[in-house]
């Protein structure tokens, strides 16, 4: 259990650095930006305390906001996603008795992919709509959501299959 928290903190820091120093400089065709840090929310154990999940998500969003000069935008989107995480998990995974279960491509490929797609779409939709609150046209916003999802989802799935190559059944 203790190992779990250390692993989560490392993942948190790595994802923040990756997002701010590398991924946010990428802007494919001017519309698609990979938003990878949501991966942190995907990889928390199913039964993790909700206050912990929501607070961690908020702090992560806020740190990214501070780096990107967009105070509030990432924090709001990420907190909202974290708040609904448990409900969304219920849509794709069997919940009872699996509190320590960490969603992953190796343990449950199908549900994990669907779960990822849903979470990323939700997060990016919130993020880009908050960002575009007053300024830009709907078409451009929708295009950016779609393009960024297309870049982000394969990246998350690839990252997950690279990082967690362990025997089936083995838990972290």
Distances (CA, A) of 126 to 78, 108, 121, 131: 9, 27, 8, 8
| Cα 115 off chain centre by | 10
Restricting to residues 130-169, name those near other proteins by CB under 8 A: 130-133, 135-136, 140
CA–CA distance, 172 with 170 (Å, rounded to integer):
7
Q: Which stretch binds other proteins (CB under 8 A): 36-44, 80-88, 91-99, 109-117?
A: 80-88
How many helices and strands (H and E) does the chain possess? 6, 0
Give the residue among 29, 47, 54, 50 at the shortest CA–CA distance from 147: 29
Q: Does 50 bind other proteins (CB under 8 A)?
A: yes
Q: Does 26 bind other proteins (CB under 8 A)?
A: yes
Applying CB under 8 A, the site for other proteins has a residue count of 37
| Residue of 11, 18, 46, 83 that binds other proteins (CB under 8 A) | 83
| Residue of 15, 54, 89, 124 that binds other proteins (CB under 8 A) | 54
Restricting to residues 89-108, name those near other proteins by CB under 8 A: none
The span from the first CA to the last CA of the chain, in angstroms, equals 9
By the criterion CB under 8 A, which residues form the site for other proteins? Answer: 20-21, 24-27, 30, 33, 50-51, 54-55, 58, 61-62, 65-73, 75-76, 79-80, 82-83, 130-133, 135-136, 140
């Amino acid at each position: 259990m203790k190992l779990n928290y250390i692993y989560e903190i490392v993942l948190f820091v790595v994802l923040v650095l990756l997002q701010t120093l590398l991924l946010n400089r990428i802007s494919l065709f001017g519309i698609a930006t990979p938003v990878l840090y949501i991966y942190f929310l995907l990889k928390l154990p199913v039964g993790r305390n909700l206050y912990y999940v929501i607070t961690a998500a908020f702090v992560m969003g806020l740190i990214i906001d501070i780096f990107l000069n967009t105070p509030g935008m990432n924090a709001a989107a990420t907190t909202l996603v974290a708040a609904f995480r448990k409900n969304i998990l219920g849509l794709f995974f069997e919940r009872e008795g699996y509190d320590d279960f960490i969603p992953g491509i190796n343990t449950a490929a199908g549900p994990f992919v669907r779960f990822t797609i849903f979470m990323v779409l939700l997060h990016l939709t919130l993020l880009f709509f908050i960002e575009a609150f007053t300024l830009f046209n709907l078409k451009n916003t929708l295009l950016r959501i779609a393009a960024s999802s297309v870049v982000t989802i394969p990246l998350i799935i690839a990252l997950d299959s690279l990082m967690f190559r362990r025997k089936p059944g083995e838990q972290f």
